[in-house]
Amino acid sequence: MIETRPLGKTGLQVTSLCLGTMTWGEQNTEAQAHEQLSYACDERGINFIDTAELYPVPPKADTQGRTETYIGSWLQARGRRDDLILATKACGPGEWVSYFRGGPHHTRDYLNAAIDDSLARLQTDYVDLYQLHWPDRNTNYFGRLGYKHAESPNDTPIDEILTALEQLVISGKVRAIGLSNETPWGVMSFLEIARREGLPVVASIQNPYSLLNRTFEIGLAEVAHREAVGLLAYSPLAFGVLTGKYLDGQRPAGARITLFDRFSRYTNPEADRATEAYAELAAEHGLTLTEMALAFVTTRPFVTSNIIGATTMEQLKENIDSHGLTLSDAVLDGIEAIHTRQPNPSP
């Protein structure tokens, strides 16, 4: 059985693997989404599903919400809603998502509309975890480095965001709240204001984490431990790069980076060199690169759940089979040696 771990201090228990869904509606059909859900949840015991109103990716106005709709039709047919932990996310600001209700922000009216739309598509009365997909302010996320401070009159203050989220919790539409693509300052500000004002305390943070991007360890890992705000790690396979399928310049038909050249975060020369080294290390120890990459993420002590996503059942089965794998000291030492030479090539 896949182990469960506490979701912050909510009292909820989530499996150490979470089923990611962002390809459903673009690279995967509704039938394929249902097959993945049934296999992961009913055959393999995963109880945690993560989605977003933004999905599928790449985000487009004409496909927006399709992923939640696919999950909703499966939930309606399956029933037994209460044995699952369902998470979704409210879109953040940006001109590239202006098709969301005229331009999204984390205001009370926006969040009320966003949750109602998500619940309708998901065909459920509540979500267990409601996350802010990215911050409602200028800061570093989605691989951006070199922070440059800028204030905007359109930024929603954190106390107003938390007050709006409190109303969603009181209404019963949301059980717990979380952050995504956040910074250490952001997490601590949400926690400090919540505790001072008696507002809901965030239970988790969903940020990227993989062998190619361990920036979470720099400031957020300590926050995760000390504040019980565990990591929900996304892109643990770096958009599939850490399966090895793009090595030597390969571009398999139908693969995400082959289809969508906008996903260049994990395909720079330094990332390629690091991936080659990790692939060699895995082979030396009788592991696949996928197994090693996923097991490394799942076993980090600050990780609450590792979000796995797949476009084929074969991929999904291999991803789930990584659970329970313990990496030897020799493998871990090898990983650290590579990381020292090629630190965080894909932030």
- Annotated active-site positions, please? 55
Give the position of tokens 């005229």: 102
Longest Cα pair distance anywhere in the chain, in angstroms?
55
CA-to-CA distance for 55 and 85, rounded, in angstroms? 18
CA-to-CA distance for 345 and 179, rounded, in angstroms? 24
Report whether 234 contacts 208 (CB < 8 A).
Answer: yes
Cis check: omega of the bond before 58, within 30 degrees of 0: yes
Report whether 233 contacts 209 (CB < 8 A).
Answer: yes
Helix, strand, or coil (residue 205): strand
> Hey, what's the torsion of the CAs at 143, 146, 149, 152, to 10 degrees?
-30
CA-to-CA distance for 90 and 287, rounded, in angstroms? 38
**Amino acid identity, position 179:** L
Report whether 346 contacts 235 (CB < 8 A).
Answer: no
